Structure 1
Amino acid sequence: MDELEFRRRILSDPKHRDKEIQQAISASDSHARYAEDILNLDAKIAEAMRVDVPDSLADRILFSHNAVNDNVVRPRFMRRAMAMAASVAFVFGLLAGQLNWGNLLVPPAQASLAEMAVSHVLNEEGFVASIDEQVSSRQINAKMRPFHYQFDKSFPYHVYYLNHCGFGDSNALHVVFQGETGKVTLFLTHMPAEGKVNFNQNGMTGVIKPVGNMSLILVGGEGENVDKIARHLMPMIKSSK
């Protein structure tokens, strides 16, 4: 090992002693003195770095930072803001082609209604699949009585299942009937809807419609025309108060 390599390795790590370093130190007094000098210098630097930090230092730094002239602070803030905006734009660009914007634009309250409705349908799909209670319109109106609404005409679809169910912090009328392409689930709940919202989740399509201070939710399979069914049913729902 030549002298230049020896000095480079000692400077990069004063405490390192492999076989080559030990041989170089043993073979040369100048190498030994140099290694000892660098080791002492490293110890002094470490000692100088061990300074007790006053408890009030953080407060003083914050105060000093806040007192800096706006001409200095503002450019730094603007750089950070622009960097953040660029990052957001980059992520937005990556995701833009993958997001279902129809779902993203559903207001939070309606999104919650949609998620609860879809969750109900998925969780009870196996249970109601083989049920056919052949429910009558009279039975439907009897179940609607606690909600103070009723259908003023015969329900226009074959009904397989009818019950009440828990729906978030409220209760709901739960009806499963035959749509145009498959089974459709209807929920009538005390949870209000601000306006009509269509949604698509987990391979299902749905619509939320306000009924007074309540919500009518229809959930069907992909391709089911739930809007058409809603247009058919809504004029038939009347207040029973």
Structure 2
Amino acid sequence: MDELEFRRRLLAQPQNKDNELLEYAQQNPERMSLVNELKSLDKELHLAMNVSVPENLADKIILRQSMSDDTSANTQPLKRSPNRPWYLALVASVALVFTFALYQLNSPILSIGEHALAHVYHEIDSLEAQDRLDMATVNARLAELGGQFSALPGEVTFVRFCRFKGQKSLHLVFNSQFGPMTVFIVPTNNQYLGNDYFSDLRFAGRISHFPKGDAILIAAAQAPIDEYQSRINQSLQWL
């Protein structure tokens, strides 16, 4: 499990009691703090949603809306009663919080580009790896994902399976005259991952789409990424 997978699973299920997730959280005080914070927020949300609704509340709201519509032609704004029942405001607030929470949980936490950049930063030490891996070693792993390389633009110094957006993928690094470059090979079954280009102040990236998977290249911001991505595209074959 990596940091991104941990946060996704925790956000989706704050009360998750999975042993793997809890063991990973216990390795770092900040992770445990996040676990406790999200559990507390989840309990507060459930308590708010369990507030008993007064009898005939729906009828009262409909009647109030009807009265508001009937007076909408009046040039004077409709004044709210200072004695409005407290539960109307509470229900509205809870509905707003619940809607916002559902939106957050169902919307993508990170775009593909953001995810790729975060993955690189999370494993930034991979850029300093000094292993010398031959193409047979790389292809032995890539074959498990249904692909192979005929060559790469530089010497491979790092290769490892990873989880990319929940999908088993291959993370590799090779050297170039512009510094180490990262490549993610992600099986996608012809599902479009997202925008082809992304960047921040330090890195730039590009996604190439294939029928069975995508190749994501990340390099120093000033590197000629199109040139290197083209060489990778020519080398990558799907079996």
Report the TM range for the smaller structure's normalisation.
0.5 to 0.7
Q: CA deviation at 1:58?
A: 5.3
Structure 1 partner of 2:234: 235
Distance across 2 between alignment mates of 1:218 and 1:168: 16
Distance across 2 between alignment mates of 1:114 and 1:194: 9
Q: CA deviation at 1:238?
A: 1.4
Structure 2 partner of 1:211: 210
Q: CA deviation at 1:221?
A: 1.4
Distance across 2 between alignment mates of 1:61 and 1:195: 46
Structure 1 partner of 2:124: 125
Aligned residues: 149
TM-score normalised according to structure 1 size: 0.54
Structure 2 partner of 1:147: 145
3-state SS in 2 of match to 1:233: helix
- Work out which of the residue numbers 60, 66, 72 in structure 1 matches 2:69: 66
Contact 2:111 2:194 in 1 (8 A): no
- For 1:136-215, list aligned pairs within 5 A: 136-151=134-149, 153-191=150-188, 192-193=191-192, 197-215=196-214
Q: Deviations over 1:32-82 (max 9, x none)?
A: xxxxxxxxxxxxxxxxxxxxxxx876543321223457xx39xx9xxxxxx
Structure 1 partner of 2:3: none
Distance across 2 between alignment mates of 1:195 and 1:114: 8
Distance across 1 between alignment mates of 2:124 and 2:148: 26
Q: CA deviation at 1:179?
A: 2.7
How well do the aligned residues superpose, as a CA RMSD in angstroms?
A: 2.8
Contact 1:186 1:217 in 2 (8 A): yes
Structure 1 partner of 2:35: none
Q: Deviations over 1:187-216 (max 9, x none)?
A: 001244357611112521000111213211
Q: Deviations over 1:101-137 (max 9, x none)?
A: xxxxxxx97x6221121111111113x2442111111
Code of the aligned partner of 2:179: G
Q: Which runs of 5+ in 2 are unaligned?
A: 1-56, 78-106
Code of the aligned partner of 1:118: L
Distance across 2 between alignment mates of 1:196 and 1:209: 10
Q: CA deviation at 1:225?
A: 1.5
Distance across 2 between alignment mates of 1:59 and 1:165: 53
Contact 2:173 2:181 in 1 (8 A): yes
TM-score normalised according to structure 2 size: 0.55
Bigger helix fraction: 1
Distance across 2 between alignment mates of 1:221 and 1:148: 28
Q: Which runs of 5+ in 1 are unaligned?
A: 1-54, 77-107
Distance across 1 between alignment mates of 2:146 and 2:60: 67
Q: CA deviation at 1:173?
A: 0.7
Code of the aligned partner of 1:60: L
Structure 1 residues 58 and 144: alpha-carbon distance in aligned structure 2, compared to 1, 3 A threshold? closer
Q: CA deviation at 1:218?
A: 0.6
Structure 1 partner of 2:115: 116
Structure 2 partner of 1:88: none
Alignment identity in percent?
19
Contact 1:193 1:208 in 2 (8 A): no
Distance across 2 between alignment mates of 1:206 and 1:131: 20
Bigger Cα Rg? 1
